[in-house]
Amino acid sequence: MLVEAARTMLIFSRSSLFLWAEAIATACFTQNRSIIHRRFNKTPYELINGRKPDISFLHVFGALCYPKNDREDIGKLDAKGDIGFFIGYSADSFAYRIYNRRTKKIMETMNISFDELSAMAFEQRSSKPELQ
């Protein structure tokens, strides 16, 4: 089930296949907080932690985002943000994992702005049926 979810996430987001491990980890993270086990009528997260998970911070895999450039020494007129793609959640903290397009590296940060609606609007425009 994880492989199918990861494959769907990679295809829908049009992400490169080198992000397959990130897609698997993100699928596992979200399924542990959202899929209810039939026998216990609870999510795996609830069974382990004894409380319902907070899912308000979940985002769409591959969503366009703008991480704030707070690690590099930037000049007065240089950009303070980069363009990236959301690829998951940190295992060690509450940070998000982002693929930075400029540096071509995966980074973890909490200082980020998401733009999920532009990707959804693009999908809606491109999937409209044509009149014949």
Strands 105-109 and 96-100: antiparallel
> Could you count the other beta carbons within 10 Å of the beta carbon of residue 82?
19
Angle between helices 20-34 and 2-13 in degrees, nearest 10? 120
Per-residue model confidence as pLDDT tens digits over 41-88: 999 999 999 999 988 999 999 999 998 876 666 666 676 778 999 999
Q: 15, 97 in Cβ contact below 8 A? A: no
Per-residue model confidence as pLDDT tens digits over 12-48: 988 889 999 999 999 999 998 998 888 889 999 999 9
